[in-house]
Amino acid sequence: MAHELHVKVRASETDGLGHVSNISYFIYLEEARIEVFRKLGTSMDMENWPFILASTSCDYVQQAYFDERLLIETTISRIGTSSFEMKHYVSSDRGLLAKGTAVIVHFNFASQKSEPLTEEMKHDLETLIGLETAKEAKR
């Protein structure tokens, strides 16, 4: 099942053109990722944080505006040996506004190297996998 996060656009998240600034989308996607980590039981203790963001992107479909209520749906699209990919869909009552992708690596900060995902991590990630195909078909 996709993870859902609701966000209300603040005035400070808009730019001089009156729409949501491109950087604000990355903040929304980060918030969604953190909530997925929390849902998966990841410790929020930064001393023991097990992941690093390797790549992120966002495709803008249409503009969002101040005071608009956004829904960010997050799924897992791929699980590898030491990394996985998240897909994010940002929408409002007007439809799809943006699509984002993030590649997350299981990382050991002490050794500064990636580590294989544990079987438990893979199992937990699988609860959110495969749903982006259905979502893409609807958009």
Residue 130: per-residue pLDDT: 61
Tokens of 38: 């929390």
Neighbours of 87 (CB within 10 A): 21
pLDDT, one tens digit per residue, over 29-59 is 999 999 999 988 888 998 889 999 999 999 9
Amino acid identity, position 39 = K
Residue 1: per-residue pLDDT: 66
Cα(113)–Cα(96) distance, rounded to whole angstroms? 37
pTM for the model: 0.88
Average pLDDT over residues 60-82: 96
Q: Which residues contact 109 (CB under 8 A, 6 or more apart)?
A: 49, 52
CA 43, 49, 50, 52 dihedral sign is positive
Whole-angstrom CA distances from 31 to 42, 125, 126 are 14, 17, 20
Neighbours of 1 (CB within 10 A): 8
